[in-house]
Structure 1
Amino acid sequence: MTNATLTNHKKLLAWIDEIKELTTPDDIYIADGSKEEYQNMLNLMVEGGTAQWLAEDKKPNSVLIFSDPADVARVEDRTFICCEKEENAGPTNNWKDPKEMKDILMPLFKGCMKGRTMYVIPFSMGPVGSPIAHIGVEITDSPYVVANMHLMTRVGKPVLDVLGEDGEYVPCVHTVGAPLAEGEKSAAWPCNAENKYITHFPETNEIWSFGSGYGGNALLGKKCFALRIASTMAKREGWMAEHMLILKLTSPEGVEKYVAAAFPSACGKTNLAMMNPTIPGWKVECVGDDIAWMKFKEDGRLYAINPEAGFFGVAPGTNYHSNPNAMESLKANSIFTNVALTDDGDVWWEDIDGDVPAHLIDWNGNDWTPDGGKKAAHPNARFTAPAAQCPVIAPNWADPEGVPIDAILFGGRRATTQPLALEASNWEHGTFLGAAMASEKTAAAAGGLGELRFDPMAMLPFIGYNMADYWGHWLEMGDKGGDNMPKVFYVNWFRKDEEGKWLWPGFGENSRVLKWVVERCDGKADAVDSPIGKLPTKEAMDLAGLDMSDKDWDSLMKVDASEWLDVAGKIEEYFAKFGDKLPARLTKQLEALKARLEAAK
């Protein structure tokens, strides 16, 4: 076993042996986390035809990879929560009995790494040694996974040092599911398109992933550990694992506040995390763009870490207008998957800055021209980049003690009904707002324009147990934290007027809403009561320099009781899915909302 001397952890070594016996690799390698190791993985992928170097004068030390067209995204229909009772997985998850799932998986895993190297990756989710962090060990047969885990987590010897001889870790097993016969050459992107399983065993904290080499299906620290397994650990242990960005906001007077925010996909989460504010003197810095782990400290407040060390971002749509700081983050030392290749050795995707090139190599490896009618980059094409390269990364983003959270934002994409901003009256009301969080489907989505898709706390695909029990956990955390809990707000950048024009300019102007949020936390900004929550007055929102008419402001903030009663009916239908597991306090919140709306009609 290569590098076996890195650890004396008997349980870990025994588990490695057990997986070796099951999967029969040709070699074993324990990752030490060194820069040389990362470079070796890139070289290995280039030599094997998986990756190609980008031009050194365009994207230094960066590679481009094209996946198999059958392996391009998370596969929610092949993602399972395996626990003893189906009701503990809840109606929003795919459930499987743990024994039944192991009976399916074990024959698939038997001999699955033949002809390949088995890599053992000790990794820390969060700064190594942080009281909020947790350790995992991923076994994989994919150099792509090793390289990405180097960027996305803290890997190697420092993690094993913290683990010691008997520390706790989450065991994660991954394979591309493509064993090699004697002398057989590996595919450039090996996978097993017919047999994908991304499985979680919350009662034993295990993750087993078979058949996919892509993204969160294979980088098991990301959604599998950081949200699905961590959410169940958090419920048991009294903390929170949330699908939230974390940003640091500093006022002109030097007052620092920390905001966490949960938005469904396509609602501007990464853009907000790295925003360049338009209000003079205010500064936004990024602590994390995707996941927040929060624990109580001695002062009774919630402190959060970003458990990741990198960004795994969607490339299409990212440009110097939508997110200049993301563009700066990926200028070097990055891994690009399923974007297009320019003739001068750079990357390209739809909506990137500049003119559309006359010729590209598309994500399928074929010649591409603008008149061909196909997209050059896959819609889910990704970049993996170190967070430390972000120009607005907060200096304390990797503080092991975490940062104190002052406010939590929820938000969705709503063309009508939902005002620009509102504040919850208390934590229980805030939990209700998060539980009822929804976005309108785009015109292309099944069901058509305007139909609401509920995505509570942006956790719908990522919760590791029954969503109703998760809401109960939120309420219990509020009971425990009392007045020390963060204030909760709901925002909507996407409201339109009757002509379909955006009422709010968005992007950097969203700093105006953040300013109101933190001023509300300090009791310095006004708000007026409405049936759905406390709304900012026009005077309380810093609109200096914006061409915002009274008519547009009124449209942006309008709360129509009849529209909202219709929404309340949809919330009631959604909540009914959870039966008697739904916390009674949320039912009470819904009834109180309906009563306030009836009174306002």
Structure 2
Amino acid sequence: MDELKKLLEDNEYRKLVNIPVAKVHKFILDSILLCEPEDVFICSDTPDEVAHIKNMAIVSGEESSALLVPGHTFHFDGIQDQGRDREVTKFLVPKGESLSSAINQIEREEGLKEVLGLLKGSMKGKTMIVRFLVLGPANSEFTIPCMECTDSWYVAHSVDLLYRKGYPTFTKLEEGEDIFRTLHSAGELNESMVSKNYDKKRIYIDYKEDTVYSVNTQYAGNSVGFKKLALRLAIRKAHREGWLAEHFMITGIYGPNKRKTYFAGAFPSACGKTSTAMLPGETILADDLAYVRNINGECRAVNVESGIFGIIQDVNSKDDPVIYEVLTNPGEVIFSNILVKDAKPWWLGMEFELPKQGKNFSGEWYEGKVDEKGEKIPPAHKNARYTIALSALKNCDPELDNPKGVLLEGIMFGGRDYKGYVPVQQAYDWAHGIIAYGAALETITTFAIIGEEGKYEINVMSIQDFVSISLGQYIKNYLDFGKKLSRKVDIFGVNYFLCDLNTGKFLNTRRDKHIWVKWMELRVHKDVKARKAPTGMIPLYEDLKKLFGQVLNKEYSEADYKNQFTLRVNENIGKVDRVKDFWSKKVSDTPKELFDVLDLQKERLLEAKRKYGEYVLPENFEVID
């Protein structure tokens, strides 16, 4: 503390004196000595300090408030910094240890030397802002304290919307408690106040020290250390302690007589997770990350965060009325990488024609403008985002900050599957669902990941990029977790992207997902029956017809039902084969149970093919309770 006292202003130093943990002091001191900031601002979460951060985000030029709606600001990331970057996001793995070959990694000492070298002197002439936060509700067995040192006022502002304030928690910490830490520098900035040296962008995760290092990037998915970056650290902590850290949304779905049932869901980016979490008339508890624990035999979960960093493309008043209302009314919103024209934000897929010119992440934009590769620059990026506090939504669940979490009664897994799985189905049991829907989650990669648009891949539980233990161990942990629950959790598979094999047109509308989720709620409580198909239990036509009328005031024809729920045998066999190939070739410690479950599913598919042919109408399957 003596060294910190020499480096800090008296009022900043006094804030740290209240935190009785040497590890916190050392991290701040080491960060100052490494990055060499001009000054340091310690945020103790007073209203004045939080307002100062928001103001400085604008004064610094990282954000602009030049929008008509009060409270709205916008931020641009560099043209080469528009998403999570797999190539430069790596785990630091000590010599003698190894992770799955599917996980991007670098030897720890080599990686530390590289990233610390890039961070050396990176904050010269800038302010280091120190934020204290908590992951999960405060004063809970779910709580994980975390802190970030950053030179970006935009990042410091963003975390205030996305996470619960943590300074009071830090003042009560004891030595030895786990703390997640992030050191971030945007690096050298150009005249547009965006990271200049994108070719030296690095995001390294040191799981030995529960620390994230991020440099030469501003995109929040890379610079806010407590989103997917700290998820990697939480997965290891969960592995040690016997719980689950997941890429989950959580929603409260209403059933008959105002019954509310909580569901979690895992979807890759831009595959419907946020819109599922925000279904009209239901409640949202989480849109991205969750911690899940076995508490007295029950599966209970909390939102790691308290805000949303959501993809804005295609958000409109008809399909996403809850989000749209927040984005178009006064209140605190940070837009990123949208188009700005006439003091308004514009994004792809909104219900209005976009202007032909304006300002975007490339600078002054006009229709036909090309990048350095000669490719046309869109008016707004496909991965453009909005950042809001969850409490801004009128359907924010009242249990958001409940330290005991909520009871999960269902979990759904869904990606982009154009040819195989039906829109909704229920697993036969926990192991079948975790393996056939979660471990087999197959999707076309989306624009939220740099460089791989349009390529199919297995994305295990929609968490594969973030798993910091072996994938085989991760699945084993899941299977073991389910076996220890005394109160059963139903597992579902959803697929909002099934297409007609002849025309390629989608067989679902965006709003149909509400029906699939309502059906799940009824199934959890055994209010409706199902048909026993080879890949899972599927809805009866009459139940869906009733729900379409009640929820969407829409006719639902038997022809639509048959198109959506006809079993495509060969396509599903191909899916099983691809999944088995992945788990046998890419993962060395795959549990035998995974192959057993997939083999049984393939046998059921082959039996259906022998009986009914390559395409099996749903009425051929037995009705069960």
TM-score normalised by the chain length of structure 1 = 0.91
Equivalence for 1:279: none
Q: Is residue 5 of structure 1 aligned with residue 14 of structure 2?
A: yes
Equivalence for 1:206: 211
Q: Residue 406 of structure 1: SS of its match in structure 2?
A: strand
Q: Describe the superposition over 1:93-147 as per-residue Cα deviations: whole angstroms up to 9, x where unpaired.
A: 1111212211222322222222211221111112222221211111111111111
Partners of 1:362 and 1:368 within 8 A in 2: no
Cα separation, 2, equivalents of 1:415 and 1:445: 22
**Deviation for aligned residue 1:359:** 4.3
1:210-225 equivalences under 5 Å are 210-225=215-230
Partners of 1:417 and 1:558 within 8 A in 2: no
The structure-2 alpha-carbon separation of the partners of 1:440 and 1:21, relative to structure 1 and needing over 3 Å to count, comes to closer
**Deviation for aligned residue 1:556:** 0.7
Partners of 1:527 and 1:540 within 8 A in 2: no
Cα separation, 1, equivalents of 2:32 and 2:473: 37
Equivalence for 1:271: 275
The correspondence for 1:425, drawn from 424, 428, 432, is 428
Q: Is residue 27 of structure 1 aligned with residue 39 of structure 2?
A: yes
Partners of 2:40 and 2:128 within 8 A in 1: yes
1:426-575 equivalences under 5 Å are 426-433=429-436, 434-440=438-444, 452-481=456-485, 483-497=486-500, 498-507=502-511, 509-541=512-544, 542-544=547-549, 545-575=553-583
Decide which moves more: 580-589 or 188-197. 188-197
Q: Is residue 256 of structure 1 aligned with residue 254 of structure 2?
A: no
Letter of the 2:122 partner, please give it.
C
Cα separation, 1, equivalents of 2:115 and 2:26: 20
**Deviation for aligned residue 1:26:** 1.5
Equivalence for 2:323: 326
Cα separation, 1, equivalents of 2:211 and 2:444: 35
Q: Residue 36 of structure 1: SS of its match in structure 2?
A: helix
Letter of the 1:224 partner, please give it.
L
**Deviation for aligned residue 1:336:** 1.5
Letter of the 2:254 partner, please give it.
T
Residue identity (%): 27
1:101-112 equivalences under 5 Å are 101-112=111-122
RMSD: 2.5
Equivalence for 1:232: 236
Partners of 2:101 and 2:587 within 8 A in 1: no
Letter of the 1:416 partner, please give it.
K
1:238-317 equivalences under 5 Å are 238-276=242-280, 283-298=281-296, 300-317=297-314
1:64-83 equivalences under 5 Å are 64-83=74-93
**Deviation for aligned residue 1:220:** 0.3
**Deviation for aligned residue 1:162:** 4.0
Q: Residue 213 of structure 1: SS of its match in structure 2?
A: coil
Cα separation, 1, equivalents of 2:289 and 2:170: 23
The structure-2 alpha-carbon separation of the partners of 1:8 and 1:133, relative to structure 1 and needing over 3 Å to count, comes to closer
Letter of the 1:38 partner, please give it.
V
**Deviation for aligned residue 1:515:** 2.1
Equivalence for 1:401: 404
Q: Residue 259 of structure 1: SS of its match in structure 2?
A: strand
**Deviation for aligned residue 1:257:** 0.4
The correspondence for 1:351, drawn from 349, 352, 355, is 349
1:125-164 equivalences under 5 Å are 125-163=135-173
Decide which moves more: 72-81 or 194-203. 194-203
Q: Describe the superposition over 1:452-483 as per-residue Cα deviations: whole angstroms up to 9, x where unpaired.
A: 321111112222222222111111111222x4
Partners of 1:86 and 1:95 within 8 A in 2: no
Q: Describe the superposition over 1:336-386 as per-residue Cα deviations: whole angstroms up to 9, x where unpaired.
A: 22211122x121112223343354223323143589964211222221111
The structure-2 alpha-carbon separation of the partners of 1:447 and 1:568, relative to structure 1 and needing over 3 Å to count, comes to farther
Gaps of 5+ in 1: 180-184, 277-282
Decide which moves more: 466-475 or 58-67. 58-67
The structure-2 alpha-carbon separation of the partners of 1:79 and 1:440, relative to structure 1 and needing over 3 Å to count, comes to closer
Q: Is residue 40 of structure 1 aligned with residue 38 of structure 2?
A: no
Decide which moves more: 491-500 or 523-532. 491-500
**Deviation for aligned residue 1:399:** 1.5
Decide which moves more: 152-161 or 486-495. 152-161
TM-score normalised by the chain length of structure 2 = 0.88
Aligned residues: 582
The structure-2 alpha-carbon separation of the partners of 1:552 and 1:445, relative to structure 1 and needing over 3 Å to count, comes to farther
Equivalence for 1:584: 592
Q: Residue 237 of structure 2: SS of its match in structure 1?
A: helix
Letter of the 1:291 partner, please give it.
L
Decide which moves more: 125-134 or 419-428. 125-134
Partners of 1:91 and 1:577 within 8 A in 2: no
Cα separation, 2, equivalents of 1:499 and 1:563: 16
Cα separation, 2, equivalents of 1:409 and 1:467: 20
Cα separation, 2, equivalents of 1:445 and 1:158: 38
Letter of the 2:313 partner, please give it.
P
Q: Residue 510 of structure 1: SS of its match in structure 2?
A: helix
Partners of 2:95 and 2:108 within 8 A in 1: no
Cα separation, 2, equivalents of 1:216 and 1:269: 17
The structure-2 alpha-carbon separation of the partners of 1:234 and 1:442, relative to structure 1 and needing over 3 Å to count, comes to closer
Letter of the 2:19 partner, please give it.
N
The structure-2 alpha-carbon separation of the partners of 1:489 and 1:367, relative to structure 1 and needing over 3 Å to count, comes to closer
1:359-374 equivalences under 5 Å are 359-368=357-366, 374=377
